A and B are shown apart, each in its own frame.
Chain A
Amino acid sequence: GENVEQHPSTLSVQEGDSAVIKCTYSDSASNYFPWYKQELGKRPQLIIDIRSNVGEKKDQRIAVTLNKTAKHFSLHITETQPEDSAVYFCAASVDGNNRLAFGKGNQVVVIP
Chain B
Amino acid sequence: GAVVSQHPSWVICKSGTSVKIECRSLDFQATTMFWYRQFPKQSLMLMATSNEGSKATYEQGVEKDKFLINHASLTLSTLTVTSAHPEDSSFYICSAKSATNYGYTFGSGTRLTVV
Which A residues form the contact surface with B (CB < 8 A)? 32, 34, 36, 41-46, 49, 51, 89, 93, 97-105
Contacts and interface: CB of A to CB of B under 8 A. Distances in A.
Interface string B27-61: 00000101000000011101001000000000000
B106 interface: yes
A36 B43 CA distance: 11
Given A32-B102, A51-B102, A99-B34, A104 B42 contact: yes
B108 interface: yes
A79 to B, nearest CB: 25
Contact of B43 (A42, A43, A51, A105): A105
Interface of B: 32, 34, 42-44, 46, 49, 91, 93, 95, 97, 102-104, 106-109, 111
Given A41-B91, A42-B109, A43-B93, 19 more contacts: A32-B102, A34-B103, A41-B109, A42-B108, A43-B107, A44-B44, A44-B106, A46-B103, A51-B102, A89-B43, A89-B44, A98-B32, A98-B97, A100-B46, A100-B95, A100-B104, A101-B46, A102-B43, A105-B42
Closest 7 CB pairs of A and B: A43-B106, A104-B43, A102-B43, A43-B108, A102-B44, A105-B43, A44-B106
A102 B104 CA distance: 13
